[in-house]
């Protein structure tokens, strides 16, 4: 065991820190709408132009070709520099799982076309997996594709598609073999959002935002060249996507949580209770904060352990589900505790994260434990793959 970063790691951290100090945008990310996605594109473009895009992507595909550990260092430095965060960006799907899926399963033409556009921020992606009747049970999906010559004609509806209105491309998972059931007969398409015949309807959430959408498909014609992986073999491609989402997708959240606890401790030092004393002197508040701090230390240790292992084996292990369970539970505990610390300020909320990040994150804690595979499903995966218990289904 060894906690020391290599000289290259330390050098990378120092360079990242310097560059970020000089280049972090002076204005905060706009709360939403086109302005937010434009901000995300501009930042990604700047990273690309200065050689900071795709830290752990292979060099052959325009990335920096660095280790997973250096990717962790990069996220830590982003968080520390209050730079635009990778996990609250409309570039998220493209960077975290669409790009890696194309690297793993795409044709040479698909790689050559999509990867530079993803890295430069030109192409934003969304994920069209879930449907009204297929969430946890993804294999129940019904959006159909009829193969006609060199095209697939898509009909149906996707639901919960985050940032669909900003995206240029969609990871679209559909049923192309009408006689098929469950995991068979599916196809994963790199779907161009400019194709005629789609209709996007926002769904307002309890955060008072409109980031998630219904996406309807009516006789939408997609060329067969958009198939990533095998026609009718899309489940395998989708599992690759989910393994990237589960393996890497939450690293930035994990590390940010560590910073958030520090902010909560400072907040508890400033806010006063009914007795006029700083809340940090309330033994119950202090103990709960310290217990959450210990959890975030463990989350960081788990992250480093997992990434260092993946750097050696080249394969993300099955531990991503355990990580997500711990991160989401700790996030919930922290935001709930801060809701008490904040007093009446907690109740002032207009939907803009910048005006009240804690209340925003409190509400978001349920999104975190449902989206990307609910906590119940993560427990199922842990029971199956880590503990190898008898199947429940």
Partner 1 sequence: MYLAPEGEELEIAAAAADFIADALPIERLHQGAGPDMGAELRASLGEMGWFALALPEGDGGSGLSAVEHALFFREVGRQCGPLDILVQALACLSTYDGGLRAALIAGEQGAALLVPDGMGHRLIGAADARYGLAVMHQGAALHDLAVAKIEPRPALDPANSLAIVNDPGPVIDSIEGAYIWQLGQVGVAAMLLGLAEAALDAIVEYAKVRETFGKPIGAWQAVRHACADMAVSNEGARAQLWYAATALKEGRGDAQAHLDAAKHLANEAALFATDATIQLHGGIGVTDEHNAHLLMKHAALLARLFGGRNELLASLLHAELED
Ligand X SMILES: Cc1cc2nc3c(=O)[nH]c(=O)nc-3n(C[C@H](O)[C@H](O)[C@H](O)COP(=O)(O)OP(=O)(O)OC[C@H]3O[C@@H](n4cnc5c(N)ncnc54)[C@H](O)[C@@H]3O)c2cc1C
Determine, following the binding rule CB under 6 A, whether residue 389 of this chain makes contact with ligand X.
Answer: no
Measure CA of the first residue to CA of the last residue in the chain; give whole Å: 39
Question: CB 270 → partner 1: shortest distance, Å?
Answer: 15
**What 3-state class would DSSP assign to 202?**
strand
Determine, following the binding rule CB under 6 A, whether residue 160 of this chain makes contact with ligand X.
Answer: yes
| Structure-block tokens of residue 296 | 């975030």
Determine, following the binding rule CB under 6 A, whether residue 140 of this chain makes contact with ligand X.
Answer: no
Task: Please choose, from the candidates 279, 375, 293, 377, the residue with its C-alpha nearest in 3D space to the C-alpha of residue 334.
Answer: 293
The entry of partner 1, ligand X, none that residue 225 binds, CB within 5 to 8 Å by partner kind: none
57-64 LR contacts (CB < 8 Å, sep 24+)? 57/99, 57/100, 57/103, 57/115, 57/119, 58/103, 61/103, 61/111, 61/115, 62/115, 62/116, 62/119, 63/119
Which residue from 9, 122, 177, 259 is in contact with partner 1, where contact means CB under 8 A?
9
Asked about 309 being catalytic, the answer comes back as no
Marked catalytic residue, from 76, 131, 171, 245: 245
Q: Which x/- pattern over 190-229 shows residues binding ligand X (rule: CB under 6 A)?
A: ---------------x------x-----------------
The entry of ligand X, partner 1, none that residue 130 binds, CB within 5 to 8 Å by partner kind: ligand X
Q: Rounded CA gap, 249 and 200, in Å? A: 25
Torsion angle defined by CA atoms of residues 230, 232, 233 and 237, in that order, rounded to the nearest 10 degrees:
80
Q: Rounded CA gap, 174 and 168, in Å? A: 18
Q: Which stretch binds ligand X (CB under 6 A): 60-68, 98-106, 260-268, 370-378?
A: 370-378
| Structure-block tokens of residue 233 | 């073999």
Determine, following the binding rule CB under 8 A, whether residue 277 of this chain makes contact with partner 1.
Answer: no
Applying CB under 8 A, which residues contact partner 1?
Answer: 1-6, 9, 13, 69, 76, 265, 280, 286-287, 289-291, 293-295, 297-299, 301-302, 304-305, 308-309, 312, 319, 322, 325-326, 376, 378-380, 382-383, 386-392
Catalytic residues: 245
């Amino acid at each position: 065991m060894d906690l020391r970063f290599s000289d290259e790691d330390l050098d990378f951290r120092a360079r990242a820190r310097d560059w970020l100090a000089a280049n972090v945008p002076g204005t905060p990310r706009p709360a939403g709408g086109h302005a937010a996605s434009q901000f995300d594109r501009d930042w990604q473009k700047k990273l690309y132009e200065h050689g900071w895009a795709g830290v752990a992507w292979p060099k052959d595909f325009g990335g920096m070709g660095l280790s997973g550990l250096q990717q962790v260092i990069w996220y830590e430095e982003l968080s520390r520099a209050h730079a635009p965060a990778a996990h609250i960006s409309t570039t998220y799907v493209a960077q975290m799982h669409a790009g890696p899926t194309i690297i793993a399963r795409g044709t040479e033409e698909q790689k050559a076309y999509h990867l530079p556009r993803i890295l430069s921020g030109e192409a934003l992606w969304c994920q069209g997996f879930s449907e009204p009747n297929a969430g946890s049970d993804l294999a129940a999906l019904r959006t159909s594709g009829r193969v006609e010559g060199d095209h697939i004609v898509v009909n149906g509806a996707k639901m919960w598609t985050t940032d669909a209105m900003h995206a240029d491309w969609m990871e679209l998972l559909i049923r192309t073999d009408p006689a098929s059931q469950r995991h068979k007969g599916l196809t994963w398409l790199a779907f161009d959002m400019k194709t005629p015949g789609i209709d996007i309807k926002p769904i307002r959430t309890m955060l008072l935002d409109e980031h998630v959408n219904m996406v309807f498909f009516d006789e939408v014609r997609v060329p067969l060249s958009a198939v990533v992986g095998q026609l009718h073999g899309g489940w395998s491609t989708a599992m690759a996507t989910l393994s990237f989402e589960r393996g890497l997708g939450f690293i930035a959240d994990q590390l940010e949580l560590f910073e958030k606890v520090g902010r909560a401790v400072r907040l508890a030092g400033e806010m006063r209770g009914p007795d006029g004393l700083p809340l940090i002197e309330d033994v119950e508040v202090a103990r709960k904060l310290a217990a959450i701090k210990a959890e975030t230390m463990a989350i960081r240790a788990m992250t480093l352990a997992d990434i260092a292992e993946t750097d050696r084996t080249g394969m993300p292990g099955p531990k991503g589900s355990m990580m997500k369970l711990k991160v989401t539970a700790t996030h919930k505990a922290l935001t709930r505790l801060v809701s008490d610390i904040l007093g009446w300020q907690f109740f002032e909320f207009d939907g803009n994260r910048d005006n009240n990040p804690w209340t925003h994150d409190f509400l978001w804690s349920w999104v975190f434990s449902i989206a990307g595979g609910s906590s119940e499903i993560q427990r199922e995966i842990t029971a199956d793959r880590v503990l190898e218990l008898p199947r429940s289904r």
